[in-house]
A and B are shown apart, each in its own frame.
Chain A
Amino acid sequence: MKFSILLFALYQILKRAAKKNDAFRNYIRPMRARILIRTADGQRGRLFIFNKGVISSVAGNQRTFDAALVWQDAATGFSVMTDKRPDASFNAAADGKLTVEGMSVYAQWFEDGIKLVL
C-alpha cells in the first residue's frame, strides 16, 4: 500500500514540478515517454506519461511503455526509491531487486528528471 501511495505522491510532485520547477519543465518539454513503475508480480504499478511537457498518470500494471522499472516487491521499491544515495538503484539492480524492461535509456532519463525534483 505504501508503494502505491508513494507512486501517487510522485505523480503529484512531478505534476507540480512541471508547472513550478523551471529546470524540470525544460527537461521534460521535448520528450514523449511512457514510464511504468511496477512490482514484479504486477500487483502494484503506475504509468507516468510525459507528452511534451504535460504529465499524466494511470494506476495499475499497464502494458504499453517505453521503459518499465520492475521492483522485486513493493517494500523494496519503496525503500530504494526513497533512498537518497546515488548508487541505490545501481545496487538494487546488481542485487536482483530491480530490472528494467524496454529501453533503459528512458529509465535513465526518468531517473535524471526525478533528481531535478526530489
Chain B
Amino acid sequence: MAPIYGGHLVAKYMKEVENVSLVFTLSGGHIENILDGFTEYGIRTIDVRHEQAAAMMAHAWSIYRNEPGVCLVTAGPGFTNALTGIVNAYLDNVPLVVLCGRHPLRDDLKGALQEMNQIDMIKPVTKWQATCYDTRRIPEYLALAFRQATLGRPGPVFLELPPDILFVAVEEETAPVPPRRVYKSSTHPDESELRKAADLINGARKPLFLGGSGVGLGDRDAMFETFIEKTGIPFALVNNGRGVLPDNHSLSISDGGFTSINTGLPQADVIVAAGIRFNWVLQSGQLFPNAKVIRIDIDPHEIDRNRTSEVGLVGDCGLVFSQLTPLVNKADHSSWLEKLRKAYQAFMTTEQALRTTPSDPIHPIRLVAQIMEVFGEDAYYVADGGDTSYFGLAGFMSANKAGVLIPAGNLLGCLGTGIPFAMAAKIAHPDKPVVLLNGDGSFGFNSMEFDTAVRHNIPIICVVNNDCAWGMIKHAQEMSIGEDRCTCAELGMRHYEKMVEGLGGYGELVTQDQEIIPALKRAAASGKPACINVVTDPTVTSPATILFYQDLSGF
C-alpha cells in the first residue's frame, strides 16, 4: 500500500465506510488537506459564505436525507461562526458531524494563528467531542464520531483535526479502518408497560396523537402508519416529524396548524405523545391537565419531564409502534375527529377568510395561500422568522416527509435558518419545488448565501414576507412599552430582490395581491435562485407573538 495523507484518510473513510457523498464547508488553510481528500475520493462539496450556513445546511441534510449531515469548518473564526448552527442542531437532536480545523499541536500556548480552546467551548452543546492526535487513528475517531451522532438519541458531534496529523502521510495499512457497525440490539419497553398503554388507548373516547422529531427519525414510517390506521387516532405531527404521514391524511389535523393542536389537546382524554418534548412550545405539558398521557421516547429522562405521564414507553418510536400495534384494538374515532375539526375551524374563521380574500396591503396569510395555490402539496416548504414562522406553519401543507419545516420555531428560535435549510432541501430533492417564506429580518442573517445558491445552481424560491420590521419584536414592544417607544424594531423598505439579482439570481418586487401568483410562476420558470420580495401589512401580528409576549411578561 502507498502512503496516504491524514486529510485524505478523512475523505477515504467517509466515502468508503460512511457513504458520505456531500459535505458543507468553507475553505481554510488548516483544513486544506481534507478538502484535497474530498477531490481525491469524489465527495461533493458545497462551499458557503459563512460557516453558520454550513452547519445549518448539514443539519437540514440530516433531516431531508435521514443520514448524518457533515460540515467541515476551519479553526478559530470558522469554528466560532459555526457555533450557532451547532447549538441549533444540539437542541434539535440532529446527528450532525462537525469536522473542524485546529491550530497545530506543535504550537500550543505559543500564540499560534487561530489558537483557542475549541473543545471546552463546544462541550456543552455537543453529544461527543474529541481531538485526534495521531494520523493513524483518524478512521477510528471518525467511526466513533458517526456512531455517537446516530446511536440512541441523536445529536451533533465535534471532531478536531490539527494540521500536524492532516498534512503528514502514513502507510495506509498502519491506519486500520473499522467496519461500519450495524447494531442488532434495540431499546424497547417492557411488555407490561406496553399492555398498560394499549389498555389506555383501547379505552379512549377522545384520543389524540402528537408526534415530534422522534417519529421522523429512521425508516420506520410504515410502522407509524399501521399503528395510526389501526387505532384511528387523530394526529398532529410537528417539528421534524411533520410529513411522516402526509398533511392531507384523513386523520391529520395539520390543516389547523397550532389552533387545531391547542383546541384538541385540552379536550383529549388520552394523549399519545411520541418523540416530542413537552417544552415551552407545548406550555410544558400544562395544556392538558386532565388527560392521561402515554409518552414514547428514546430518552427515558423525557418521560416525566415537566408533566407526569401515566405510561412511559422508552424506545425507538418505530419499534414501539410495531410492538404496540398488535395489542391495540381496531377503532374508529371519526365522530370525535369530526367534532374536533368543526371546533378548531370555528376558531379560525378569520384566518380562513383571509386565505381566500384579496388583501391590500397584502396579508401574510393570504400570501401563504397564494404560494400554496401555485406549488401545491408536492413541494418542500420552509419558513423562517418570528411571525413568519407562524404563518408558514399555519398555511403550508405538504405530502412529503419533512415537507414543511419551521426551523426558527424550534427551541433555539434560530432566525437565519431558512436559506440554508431551503438550499439543503433543494439539493436533496432537486426535482421538487422548494419554497422558502422568509421574514425580512431573518432574511438578513444568511442572505449572502444566495451567492452559494447561484454558484452551485440551487434554484430555491425565497418569498420575503416584508413588513419592513422585526415584526414579532415590534408588536411585542407595542404591547409592552407602547407604540410610541418601540426601539430597534424597524427595518424600513429594502429591495432584497435587487440584492439577489445582483448576485446572479432572479428577483421581483410585489406590492399588489394580483401580482403574487404571476411573480411566483416567473420565478419558477427562471430556473435560478429567486427572491420575490412581497411588501405585506406591517400592522399584522400573529398568535405566536401574543404567546411569546405572554411567556416573557409573567414575572
Contacts and interface: CB of A to CB of B under 8 A. Distances in A.
Interface of A: 26, 29-32, 86-87, 90-91, 93-96, 98-109
Contact of B543 (A96, A101, A105): A105
Given A90-B343, A93-B346, A30 B550 contact: yes
Contacts of A98: 346
B280 interface: no
A27 B553 CA distance: 9
A108 B342 contact: no
Nearest to B545: A105
Given A30-B550, A105-B546, A94 B342 contact: yes
Given A93-B343, A100-B346, A104-B259, 9 more contacts: A30-B479, A30-B480, A91-B343, A100-B349, A102-B350, A103-B350, A104-B347, A109-B546, A109-B550
Contacts of B348: 100, 104
B339 A94 contact: yes
Interface string B253-264: 000000100110
Contacts of B547: 105
A28 to B, nearest CB: 11
Interface in B312-358: 339-340, 342-344, 346-350
Contacts of A99: 346-347, 349
B549 interface: yes
Given A93-B347, A101-B350, A30 B553 contact: yes
Nearest to B479: A32
Interface in B91-134: none
Contacts of A93: 342-344, 346-347
A99 B349 CA distance: 7
B28 interface: no
A30 B554 contact: yes
B530 to A, nearest CB: 32
B550 A104 contact: no
Contacts of B479: 30-32
Contacts of B343: 90-91, 93-94
The 7 closest A-B pairs by CB, nearest first: A30-B553, A105-B543, A93-B346, A104-B347, A94-B343, A93-B343, A94-B339
Interface of B: 259, 262-263, 266-267, 290, 339-340, 342-344, 346-350, 479-480, 543, 546-547, 549-550, 553-554
Contacts of B554: 26, 30
A93 B256 CA distance: 15
B289 to A, nearest CB: 10
B349 A106 contact: no
Nearest to B347: A104
A94 B340 contact: yes
A94 B338 CA distance: 8
A87 B266 CA distance: 9
Nearest to A87: B267
Contact of A90 (B267, B349, B480, B550): B267
A103 B350 CA distance: 8
Interface of B is mostly: helix
Contacts of A31: 479, 550, 553
B342 A96 contact: yes
Contacts of A90: 263, 266-267, 343
B2 to A, nearest CB: 66
Nearest to B478: A32
B438 to A, nearest CB: 23
A104 B257 CA distance: 13
Contacts of B550: 30-31, 109
14 contacts: A30-B550, A86-B290, A90-B263, A90-B267, A94-B339, A94-B340, A94-B346, A99-B347, A100-B346, A100-B349, A102-B350, A103-B546, A104-B259, A104-B543
Contacts of A104: 259, 347-348, 543
Contacts of B546: 103, 105-106, 109
B232 to A, nearest CB: 18
A103 to B, nearest CB: 6
Contacts of A30: 479-480, 549-550, 553-554
Contacts of B266: 86, 90
A21 to B, nearest CB: 16
A79 B16 CA distance: 71
A118 to B, nearest CB: 17
A104 B349 CA distance: 9
A98 B263 CA distance: 14
Centre residue among A99, A106, A107 by max chain B CB count within 10 A: A99
A30 B550 CA distance: 8
A90 B343 CA distance: 6
A104 B263 CA distance: 10
A29 B479 CA distance: 11
Contacts of A108: 262
A67 to B, nearest CB: 9
A106 B350 CA distance: 13
A107 B550 CA distance: 14
A32 B554 CA distance: 14
A49 B523 CA distance: 45
A101 B349 contact: yes
B346 A96 contact: yes
Contacts of A29: 553
Contacts of B346: 93-94, 96, 98-100
Nearest to B340: A94
A91 to B, nearest CB: 8
Centre residue among A96, A100, A106, A109 by max chain B CB count within 10 A: A100
Nearest to B289: A86
A102 to B, nearest CB: 6
Centre residue among B342, B347, B549 by max chain A CB count within 10 A: B347
B365 to A, nearest CB: 11
Contacts of B340: 94
